[in-house]
């Protein structure tokens, strides 16, 4: 791990994504998506939902709501706010938000970013990359949103990392934590 730490310290570039990054983002997204939560290895975290299409990523990149981390031209992580995709998962998140507003867990008069998603490759976890990606992203979106929303599976051990990065559990159901990051 020390070699990865030293390599990461010296060679990591964090920046906003461009259209040139889309193929690598799609590959990393697909790699971390799981189709069956009951049989997947969840030790290092995971993604659930729909794969991100080229047009989804283009819209997110155009809105400057996607940051990337590279090590020697290899994409090793990304962080995005998804308010623009045409996915079932975003529609589901919108429904969660509506329900949480109705039950008083979210305020109705605030600007809410509907979904956050982050991935960091296994060899680059525990180096603070996710936090750095989020911090850069927040510099661009703080004028657009008052709060960020997402969900975390109760089977995802990375909930602790989310909380260390400023996410707060505002509600839960049998399988999910509903989390918020106030700006």
Measured over the CA atoms of residue 145, residue 163, residue 37 and residue 24, the dihedral's sign is positive
pTM of the model: 0.87
Question: What's the distance, CA 110 to chain centroid?
Answer: 20
Q: How many helices (H) and strands (E) does the chain have?
A: 6, 8
Task: For the chain, 183 residues long, give each residue's pLDDT as a single digit of tens.
Answer: 333 443 445 589 999 999 999 999 998 988 877 544 444 444 545 465 777 899 999 999 999 999 999 999 999 999 999 999 988 889 999 999 999 999 999 999 999 999 998 899 989 988 989 999 999 999 999 999 999 999 988 887 778 888 888 999 999 999 889 999 999
Cβ contact 183:146 at 8 Å: yes
């Amino acid at each position: 791990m020390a070699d990865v730490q030293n390599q990461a310290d010296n060679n990591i570039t964090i920046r906003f994504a461009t259209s040139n990054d889309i193929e690598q983002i799609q590959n990393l997204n697909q790699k971390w998506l799981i189709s069956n939560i009951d049989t997947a290895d969840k030790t290092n975290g995971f993604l659930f939902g729909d794969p991100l299409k080229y047009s989804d990523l283009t819209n997110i990149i155009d809105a400057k709501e996607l940051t990337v981390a590279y090590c020697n031209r290899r994409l090793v992580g990304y962080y995005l706010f998804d308010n623009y995709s045409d996915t079932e998962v975003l529609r589901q998140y919108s429904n969660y938000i509506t329900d949480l507003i109705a039950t008083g867990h979210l305020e109705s008069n605030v600007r809410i970013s509907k979904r956050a998603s982050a991935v960091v490759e296994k060899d680059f976890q525990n180096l603070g990359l996710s936090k750095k990606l989020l911090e850069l992203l927040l510099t661009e979106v703080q004028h657009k949103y008052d709060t960020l929303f997402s969900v975390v599976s109760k089977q995802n051990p990375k909930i602790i990392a989310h909380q260390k990065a400023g996410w707060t559990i505002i509600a839960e159901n049998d399988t999910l934590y509903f989390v918020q990051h106030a700006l």
